[in-house]
């Protein structure tokens, strides 16, 4: 078998499929039940490139958390390559979360006391990859997101757009099959937002992975080949989904 070590750009080429069947998520706060996602059925794969749009509170983030294994459904099923999340062991779930999906949030959650390079390396070190391997991958990815000259900067020493670039590099370090992003340009000015959007598209293209992006920005949504519209926890429209 050919080693992937020589080429840090190497990604997983095997297919990856996340299926939701009639999945709902109910939160209970102070005795009140809030249904954030209601009976959603949806499949996304490493070939999917879609936006999730809808008003604030319509369940977009919760849907993303269910798809990316961050949360379990209250009822219904979410499966990863045919395996039901609720029947997986903690270590199987950790593997999905750590190695098959990459996630970028609006607030980038970078660790403030670490450099860009260390932030990007972190998921690899946690997963037990060698220092050499994570160092190679992180350096390569920071170059790829245009921050080769900022590797030793801490988040507070970088602009909002640069911080999101680091977050994208960090999300890619374990070579995920699908990149999930929750309003990743929501805190950025228009020009920086466009730059970060372009970065997402070039990364997804270069690594041939899926993209599921929650956004309020209708111009951004229109740049993706398909859109899923949510209202009150339900998918009310899905244009272009295959």
Ligand X SMILES: Nc1ncnc2c1ncn2[C@@H]1O[C@H](COP(=O)(O)OP(=O)(O)O)[C@@H](O)[C@H]1O
Give the footprint of Mg ion on this chain (CB under 5 A): 61
Tell me: does residue 184 bind ligand X (CB under 6 A).
no
CA 26 from centroid of its chain's CA atoms? 22
Indicate which single residue of 9, 34, 107, 206 sits in contact with ligand X (rule: CB under 6 A).
34
d(CA 213, CA 201): 11
Q: Which stretch binds ligand X (CB under 6 A): 60-68, 92-100, 126-134, 190-198?
A: 60-68
Q: Rank residues 60 and 170 by Cβ distance to ligand X and give the closer one.
A: 60
Q: Which does 58 bind (CB under 5 to 8 A by kind): Mg ion, ligand X, none?
A: ligand X
d(CA 114, CA 122): 10
**Separation in Å, CA 5 to CA 135, 137, 168:** 12, 10, 21
Tell me: does residue 170 bind ligand X (CB under 6 A).
no
Indicate which single residue of 62, 108, 197, 227 sits in contact with ligand X (rule: CB under 6 A).
62
Q: Which does 50 bind (CB under 5 to 8 A by kind): ligand X, Mg ion, none?
A: none
Q: Rank residues 34 and 126 by Cβ distance to Mg ion and give the closer one.
A: 34
- With CA atoms as reference, report the closest residue to 52 among 229, 179, 224, 184: 229
Tell me: does residue 60 bind ligand X (CB under 6 A).
yes
Q: Rank residues 80 and 105 by Cβ distance to ligand X and give the closer one.
A: 105
Tell me: does residue 185 bind ligand X (CB under 6 A).
no
Residues 2-31 that bind ligand X (CB under 6 A): 27, 29
Q: Which stretch binds ligand X (CB under 6 A): 12-20, 53-61, 155-163, 219-227?
A: 53-61
Report H helices in the chain.
Answer: 60-67, 90-95, 116-126, 131-144, 160-172, 190-207, 218-223
Q: Which stretch binds ligand X (CB under 6 A): 54-62, 74-82, 114-122, 216-224?
A: 54-62
SS (H, E, C) 153-199: CCHHHCCHHHHHHHHHHHHHCCCCCEEEEECCCCCCCHHHHHHHHHH
Tell me: does residue 56 bind ligand X (CB under 6 A).
yes
DSSP symbol at 97 = I
CA distance from start to end of the chain: 33
Residues that bind ligand X (CB under 6 A): 27, 29, 34, 36, 54, 56-62
């Amino acid at each position: 078998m050919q080693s992937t070590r020589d080429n840090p750009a190497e990604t997983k080429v095997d297919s990856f499929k996340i299926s939701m069947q009639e999945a709902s998520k109910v939160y209970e706060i102070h005795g009140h039940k809030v249904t954030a996602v209601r009976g959603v059925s949806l499949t996304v794969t490493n070939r999917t490139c879609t936006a999730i749009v809808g008003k604030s509170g319509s369940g977009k983030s919760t849907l993303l958390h269910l798809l990316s294994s961050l949360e379990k459904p209250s009822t219904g099923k979410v499966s990863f390559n045919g395996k039901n999340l609720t029947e997986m062991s903690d270590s199987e779930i950790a593997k999905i979360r750590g190695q098959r999906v990459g996630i970028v949030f609006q607030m980038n959650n970078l660790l403030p006391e670490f450099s860009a390079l260390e932030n990007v390396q972190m998921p690899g070190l946690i997963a037990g990859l060698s220092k050499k391997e994570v160092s190679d991958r992180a350096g390569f990815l920071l170059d790829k997101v245009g921050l080769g000259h900022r590797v030793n900067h801490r988040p507070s020493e970088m602009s909002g757009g640069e911080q999101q670039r680091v977050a994208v590099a960090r999300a890619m370090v374990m070579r995920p099959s699908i990149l999930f992003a929750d309003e990743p340009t929501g805190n950025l000015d228009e020009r920086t937002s466009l730059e970060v959007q372009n970065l997402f598209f070039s990364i997804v293209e270069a690594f041939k992975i899926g993209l599921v992006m929650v956004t309020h920005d209708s111009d951004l949504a229109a740049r993706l080949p398909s859109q899923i519209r949510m209202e009150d926890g339900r998918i009310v429209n899905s244009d272009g989904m295959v």
